[in-house]
Structure 1
Amino acid sequence: MTMLNIPNTLSLLRILLIPVFVYLLNYDSSYGLHMATAVLAVSYLTDILDGYIARSANMVTEMGKILDPLADKLTQLVAVITLVIKHYIPLIILIVILIKEVTQICGGLYIKFKLKTQMPQANILGKIATGMFYISILLLLLSVPYAIYLLYLTAVLLIAAFANYIILFVKFKKQSCNNLN
């Protein structure tokens, strides 16, 4: 199976859309804002599509297991940093996402290289939180009233997904230690 299949190409496209989103969001006009919103919507749709195609067409690759979450994390972090700088969202949202992502990346690397195993793929709570993240950001960019409250709810879901990740991490670590004994 080729490494640069359709799902992996879609993940790469998401990464390439990041600077386009930032540029357009910083373009001082309603046109730039609307185009940035469209770019983020395309990014979200390609996120949904790449996972669906990879699973349904049996195109899951090791490269895709790295590219997809990398594209997710980069898109979310850059979008949130840019939106905080532009005063669209409060700093606390960035702090929540940074703590979750940095801890999750460190935990994943620890499990992969120290425990020599892999964490399971994203659970349903994480997928819902990611979907709500994109939807709430898109609604904020479209100036939908009260969209900020959906973003706060998303932050709560991200914290719940993070807590679930910590529980999984502890289980993996215990299981790995038990296997060594």
Structure 2
Amino acid sequence: MNVPNILTSIRFGLVPIFIVVLFSSHPNNLRLSAYIFIIAGITDLLDGYIARKYNLITKWGQAMDPLADKLMQLAVLFGLTVKQLIPIWVIIILGLKELLMIFGGIILYTKGGKIVIPADKYGKAATIIFYIAILSIVFGFPYGKYLILMTVLLTLYAFTRYLLVGVNEMKKYKAS
């Protein structure tokens, strides 16, 4: 285990903590869960930065980092939908996309010769806008609903690109 992988592991641990805090009876549960979400985002930035800067990129990290991100995003989507802060269609679209990404990633890794497709700039931009949209909604900033719509559209575009790359990588693997 190296530092980036430890940070990814911490992010996995933050998912259940986020859920417990969000649904707790604490009067500031929404704000506290948002801080946990922010900490998860910081660990995501740090693990990627450290892994690239110090050449600590591992197959485990390439596979588990996006999984930790997806689980946190699903937890946030689920929680905020239940709390009626975002409309249900958002979790249906983004949740389905995240589940497809998780299963697709597992298939590529286990059946495709440990293929890991890194996030591209569109996926990273969608994640950044997702964080901004969620925090805008939680903290009551304007335009949160528009940012959610922008997140959905950019996420679907990034997913389409990811799907095409995954299909091509699987074809190459099967051809070899």
What is the TM-score of this pair, normalised by structure 1?
A: 0.88
What does residue 39 of structure 1 align with? 36
What does residue 135 of structure 1 align with? 132
State how many pairs are aligned: 176
Work out the percentage of aligned pairs sharing the same amino acid.
36
Query: Which shows bigger deviation, 27-36 or 138-147?
Result: 27-36
Aligned ranges for residues 1-181 of structure 1 at < 5 Å? 3=1, 5-28=2-25, 30-177=27-174, 179-180=175-176
SS of the residue corresponding to residue 28 of structure 2 reads helix
What is the TM-score of this pair, normalised by structure 2?
A: 0.90
Gap regions ≥5 residues in structure 2:
none
Cα distance in 2 for residues equivalent to 1:158 and 1:35: 26
Cα distance in 2 for residues equivalent to 1:20 and 1:109: 25
Query: Which amino acid is 1:175 matched to?
Result: K
Query: Which amino acid is 1:102 matched to?
Result: L
Shift of 1:155: 0.5
Whether the 8 Å CA contact 1:18–1:75 is kept in 2: the answer is yes
Cα distance in 2 for residues equivalent to 1:117 and 1:12: 20
Query: Which amino acid is 1:127 matched to?
Result: K
Shift of 1:16: 1.4
Distance 1:117 1:18, change over 3 A: closer
SS of the residue corresponding to residue 163 of structure 1 reads helix
Cα distance in 1 for residues equivalent to 2:164 and 2:143: 33
Gap regions ≥5 residues in structure 1:
none
CA RMSD of aligned residues (A): 1.8
1:70-89: per-residue Cα shift (whole Å, max 9, x none)? 21011001111111111011
Cα distance in 1 for residues equivalent to 2:99 and 2:125: 20
Cα distance in 2 for residues equivalent to 1:154 and 1:100: 12
Query: Which amino acid is 1:136 matched to?
Result: A
Distance 1:19 1:174, change over 3 A: closer
Shift of 1:120: 2.5
Query: Which amino acid is 1:156 matched to?
Result: L
Whether the 8 Å CA contact 1:27–1:33 is kept in 2: the answer is no
Shift of 1:47: 0.6
